[in-house]
Amino acid sequence: MPADSSKKLFVGPRFRRIRQQLGLSQTQIAEGLGISPSYINLIERNQRPVTAQILLRLAEAYDLDLRDLATADEDRFFAELNEIFSDPLFRQIDLPKQELRDLAELCPGVTHALQRLYAAYAEARQGETLAAAQMADRDEGSRFEANPIERVRDLIEANRNYFGELEQTAETLRDELNVPAEALYAALAARLREKHSIVTRIMPVDVMRETLRRFDRHRRQLLISELVDAPSRTFQLAFQAGLCECNGHIETIVGRAGKLDDAPRRLFRITLANYFAACVMMPYQAFHAAAEALSYDVQVLAQRFNAGFEQVCHRLTTLQRPNARGIPFFLLRVDNAGNVSKRFSSGTFPFSKFGGTCPLWNVHSTFDTPDRLLKQVIEL
């Protein structure tokens, strides 16, 4: 919020969405803010500004975090539109950036529809390319399966990578276990054995081969390869505990996502169980407090919570609890060829949906400098 409290903002569509999310009529919110319903109507039509005082009054009256009033969604929609209309398909059309920004702010539904339409076009185009390649080399085993992944990514970003039900259930479980981080593996193994009749076994690599974990439903055994390191072993036990003890919350969240095909539904369930596992290993309140106190030192956080470096980085992208938010980090995991195998954010970072990562990012230099942290400031 700017220091100048008299600054005027024209944020009508955003104001209207907040009112609708609160379930209030224009008259009701006008009473709460101490202004006239007609002024509310003019605000929502972008014919009158919203002063900083009104925004502060809105936040106080309805217990809103001021960051919820930021332009995160509009910025993301604008980035998606900008990416879509950068396609050579539209080379002959002159589209000013301001028109795209106006569309993102005024018509988010239209923006989402355009994104889905272009995604279908891009999938069909890539499918044709893959089909041609298959005919050339007779490789019938390859097929394009990006849709379920993109669908789940959209769901995560729509929730800003924060799921309160899972956070609370995980904190309750951790309180019940009442053990330090280094004893969590043993406590989870005992919990699975005593409450769910699931025995955990560490298996030799010649038995597991390339499989890192497997759940034997008939024998009620969770098998983990000896190649899996200690933090990942704990994570696998927490993941299994999530499937056993948090399945109701997981199904509720999946149900809220609306109609999903089988593939994205299964993937979303797995993603939510993974989310729960991270919550158990790094409970929100304790982890957020430690992150703030340690200036988000990933290596120290990993030691304190007995977690892996990547696990901590992933957890940092989920710190979006109202009134206890962390820095809105984003995470990208790429290989040396630039292929993205994992990406998460708090819903504010405009990931490219149809291309790769920016070649100017120094993430591509990390393979030349192992065991060294690289820093870079980027402007979006």
Distance CA 290, CA 111 (A): 39
Residues 273 and 333 in one domain: yes
Same domain membership, residue 203 and residue 330: yes
In a domain, 379, yes or no: no
Assessment of whether the complete model's pTM goes beyond 0.85: no
* Dist. CA 300–CA 173, nearest whole Å: 24
319 SS3 class: coil
Q: Within this chain, do residues 169 and 317 fall inside the same structural domain, yes or no?
A: yes
355 by DSSP, 3-state: which?
coil
Whether 84 is covered by a domain: the verdict is yes
Q: Are residues 130 and 243 located together in one domain of the fold?
A: no
- Whether 100 is in a domain gets the answer yes
CATH number of the domain that residue 15 is part of = 1.10.260.40
Assess whether 350 and 215 both reside in one domain: yes
One domain, residues 244 and 326: yes
Do 48 and 106 share a structural domain?
no
The last residue of one of the domains, among 116, 144, 172, is 144
d(CA 191, CA 102): 54
344 shares a domain with 272: yes
Residues 66, 21 share a domain: yes
Nearest C-alpha neighbor of 317 from the set 362, 361, 280, 287: 287
Same domain as 235, residue 168? yes
Q: Which two tokens stand for residue 177?
A: 């276990």
158 in a structural domain: no
Both structure tokens of 370: 């192992």
Q: In the prediction, which pLDDT does 357 show?
A: 61
Choose one of 144, 176, 194: the last residue of a domain.
144
pLDDT of residue 90: 81
Phi, psi dihedrals of residue 93, rounded to the nearest 5°: -105, 125
CA–CA distance, 148 with 141 (Å, rounded to integer): 18
Question: Per residue of the chain (380 residues), what is the pLDDT tens digit?
Answer: 444 444 567 778 778 878 887 889 999 999 989 999 999 999 888 888 888 888 888 888 887 766 655 555 677 777 788 878 887 778 778 888 888 887 877 777 788 788 778 877 777 766 555 444 444 444 433 333 447 888 888 888 888 899 999 999 999 999 999 999 999 999 999 999 999 999 999 999 999 988 999 999 999 999 999 999 999 999 999 999 999 999 999 999 999 988 888 999 999 999 999 999 999 999 999 999 999 999 999 999 999 999 999 999 999 999 999 889 998 888 878 877 777 777 777 766 555 555 556 666 777 788 788 778 888 877 66
User: Is residue 155 assigned to a domain?
Assistant: no
Q: Is residue 149 part of a domain?
A: no
Q: Can you give the residue range of the structural domain that contains 60?
A: 8-70
- Does residue 376 belong to any structural domain of this protein? no
Q: Are 180 and 281 in contact (CB under 8 A)?
A: no
In a domain, 380, yes or no: no
What is the widest separation between alpha-carbon atoms in the chain?
74
Looking at the structure, tell me whether residues 259 and 171 fall in a common domain.
yes
> In the structure encoding, which two tokens stand for residue 212, read together?
């890192």
The span from the CA of 104 to the CA of 109, in Å, is 9
Same structural domain, 46 and 178: no
Among 70, 97, 123, where does a domain finish?
Answer: 70
Residue 12 near residue 45, CB atoms below 8 Å: yes
| Structural domains in the chain (count) | 3
Question: Within the chain, where are the H helices?
Answer: 12-22, 26-33, 37-44, 52-61, 72-84, 97-106, 108-137, 146-158, 164-177, 184-196, 205-208, 230-245, 247-256, 262-281, 284-293, 298-304, 309-316
**335 DSSP 8-state letter:** -
